[in-house]
Structure formats: structure tokens, C-alpha cells
Amino acid sequence: MTPLAPRPDLSQLSHDQKDALIHALLDRVDALVAEVAALRAENARLTARVAELEARLKEPPKTPDNSSTPPSKGQKANRNTKEKRAGPRAGSVGRKGGGRGLAMEPDQFVSAKAASCRHCGTVLGDGDHVLHGRYDKIDLPPVRPVVTRVERYAGCCPCCGGMTVAPVPEGLEDGSPFGPGIVAAAIYLRFVHAISYQRLSRLFRHLFALSVSEGALDGMFRRAKPRFDGEVGAILARLRRSRIVCSDETGVRIDGRSCWNWVFQNDAVVIHVIRKTRAAAVVAEVMDGHRPAIWVSDLYGGQQGHADGWQICLAHQLRDCKYAVEAGDAVFAPRMKALLLRAVVIARRRKELAESTRREYRRRLDRDLDAVMAMAPENRHGKRLRKRYAKVRGHLFTFLEHPEVAPDNNGSERELRPTATYRKVTGGFRSDWGADFFAAIKSVIGTANRNGIDAHAAILSTLRGNPVLAPG
């Protein structure tokens, strides 16, 4: 505490000095009153903040189950708790208690027959046996590389004496000793299963008795990249003719820098690009002036305004409504959640419905949405949701006008899930080149999957110069 100044002897002061002292004291009082008022206001603000934080402490944590929080961040989604199987597990066709059915076309057969009766010793012939049971035994043969020695000859013409060198056999060109099968396996293991260069080198040595250094792996990836870049060009051209485009993005790291893995996809193609920004400029770059009829995305601003129509991901909205309910909103969020669930149920049948039926469903959903929006929630989460849907309500049920449009963006999220796994395992990319190669591979694999081609087959097909994108 500041020590008090000694009090003057008032009897020794003149009238002017007393007046000056009074004025000084009054100024001090005014300053103290203002300071007290400011402190009271700050105290009220802090009290309100404490109350808000205490209320938040009582709210449930946000998880992928009840919010738009991605599974890669924060608390994980709760696992579904299923009742344990009451009885014994049902047996398979071939083996009691087993879970695998018999192969349709086994590679070989082995018949086991008793030579004699175990009771009396009588020799048993072929006609004395009946089939007792069958099962499959599955194993892998030793996998070893096939080394093809190429010998090129030069022929000497007996007429003119000129030398003619034999052409290189197709598929056996000089340069890297590794064929497309080895390269495809390396790419598949590295970029689909996130196996490091060091472990990949050991894997080839231990499983295949093949020595492939980390430098050789990097070299084969660099030689393979133009093949994938060419395929990505064809996929991108198809995307830029698409009527429907769905998009999403997730964070990645390149040499310690924060970047973004964008995905653009529909029923026919998938395009991954990794850029330093999350801005809408990425969409403009990828689409190159093409404006689809419908865009499907979440509420992120960078993914809005790129098409004539917009379908908001209802899966995100359902999770946000669920969180608001768990956080105490008993007015708006429960009704909105029920309405969105009804819309999702209708969406599952949308392609089977007549146009008039879809219009009627849309009319009913809009009518019920009006009733929900007329509600006045007191909970802050309910207020936030109501404010959101007041802005975007016209984009909730676009799928009823365009039955080929999904009501959610789950396809994009599924495409980005391997990226999140790769990010966790590897920690990110060491170079822009590696990130671009990863994006190209994911684009080819995702597109191939839509054409019924698995990841390894798609990689091998691309390396051999065979397109994975069906004409159209």
C-alpha cells in the first residue's frame, strides 16, 4: 500500500491554498471513482467468463461422433458396443468352427484314404470309401525374383559388311534392372501402406532375397512418376467435364511446413492435389474455369460458390446437432436432428422415387424446416445452429432435386482417410516432389477403384502404360 502523504496543518494555510487543496482532493476522488467503476466492470466481465468456462467444463468433449472434428484430431470416436455372441460361432462350409469358405478353384487336390479297417484290419478298396469331410490348406510358395538375361547381338552383313544391332526386346529395355512388378510392389507398399524406405529395403531382402537400396527405391519412384502424371492428366480432364464434384481437404506436412491435401471426386474420378494453401484458389486451379452443376462439401468457405448448386454434407450437420443436444440444447437441435435424419432416410430411396414424389418430399421437408426455424433456443449451441441454418437452409435438400447427388460428403472423407494414416505413420513428406507423387498415386488408385480395379493392379497397369480410366 502506498504510504499516505503527511497531512498539512490547515491552520497555517491561506484561503487560496485551502481552495487548491480541495480541488486537488476532488480530482483525486473523481479518479478513484472512475477506477472503481472500471474495476467493477472488469470484475463483472471476469465473473461472466468464469461462469462461461465452468459451463463449458460441464459440456461433453467434441469427438468425430458428435461433431465435425476429424478422427485424426482430438478425442476419438466412441466404438460401437455390440453384444457378445451368445452361442458358438457358426462353422463354414468346409470346416467346423472355421470362418473361411472353400476355394472355388483350388490349385491342387490331395485325397486321404485309409488303407485298412482300424477295427479288424481288412484292406479297403476305392469303392469302400465315402467322403467324410474336406478343407483347404493355404500357403505361400517361396517368392524369388525372376532374372532375365538379355543378350543383344549385332549382325555383320556378308554383302556390305555393315553391322546391324538387334532391337531391344519390348519390356526389357536397358537402364534400371527392376521390372514393373518390383516397382509396383515398392510403390504399393510405400504409398499405400506407408512403409519407410529403410524397412522397404529390408522387406525386399528378407522376403524376396532381392537387394534394393534406399537410393534404388528413390530412383525407381522418380522414373515411375511421369507414368502417373500422364494418367492424372486424363483424370483431371474428365473431372473438368463433370456435372457433380465433391471436395474436402486435410492438413499434411512437407519438410516441416503446413500444407493441405485437397481431394476432388465423384462416381467416376478422384483427383488429389497437395498445396501450401487452403484457399479457394486451389479449387480455381483444379477446375480451370469449369463450373459444375452441383458441388458437395462441408461449410468451409473455400469450398463454396464453385457450382450452380450446392449440397451441404448432412453427415457433418447431424454430428453437430448431436453435440448440441449433448451440450444441453433441448429445443432446436433435437428437432433439427430428427428432420435431417428423415432427409437421410429419404435420400436412400431418392433414385427410386418419381420426380413428383421427390418434389412432395422436398415441400414437406421445407415446411417442417420452417417450423424448426421458428423455435427460439436459449442454449448457445442451439442459437449457433439456428443462425447457421438461417444462412444455408436452401442447400440442405439439393439431393431431392438432383437424385444423382449424395446427401453427404462421405466419399471425399473416405478418400482422405488414407492420407491421415500416412501422415501419422510417416510424419509428413520430405519434399514437394514426394508429396506430388503421393497425390498422383492416390488419384490413380481412387479412380481405378471406381472402375473395379484394386490398388496394386492399378499401379501395375499404370506402369505398363495401360489406362485405369474407362473411356467416356
- Identify whether the C-beta of residue 55 lies closer than 8 Å to the C-beta of residue 65: no
Binning the chain into helix, strand and coil, the percentages to the nearest 5 are 50, 10, 45
For residue 361, the model assigns a pLDDT of 93
Mean pLDDT of the region 381-393: 94
Length of the chain: 472
Q: Three-state SS for 38?
A: helix
What is the pTM for the complete model shown?
A: 0.77
Rg (CA), the chain: 36
Question: Each residue of 421-466: pLDDT tens digit?
Answer: 999 998 889 999 999 999 999 999 999 999 999 999 999 999 999 9
For residue 93, the model assigns a pLDDT of 47
For residue 71, the model assigns a pLDDT of 54
Mean pLDDT of the region 403-418: 94
Give the residue among 373, 376, 297 at the shortest CA–CA distance from 329: 376
Q: Three-state SS for 154?
A: strand
The sign of the CA dihedral 412, 414, 415, 417 is positive
Give the residue among 462, 426, 430 at the shortest CA–CA distance from 446: 462
Question: Each residue of 276-306: pLDDT tens digit?
Answer: 999 999 999 999 999 999 999 999 999 999 9
Domain 222-309+409-463 indexed as CATH 3.40.190: no
Pair type for strands 294-297 and 309-312: parallel
**CA-to-CA separations, 206 to 184, 185, 211, in angstroms, rounded:** 18, 15, 9
Quote the CA–CA distance of 314 and 311 in Å, as a whole number.
8
Tell which wins on pLDDT, 98 or 439: 439
Question: Each residue of 234-282: pLDDT tens digit?
Answer: 999 999 999 999 999 999 999 999 999 999 999 999 999 999 999 999 9
* Residue 431, burial from CB neighbour count under 10 angstroms (0-12, 13-18, 19+): exposed
For residue 4, the model assigns a pLDDT of 61
Mean confidence (pLDDT) of the chain? 88
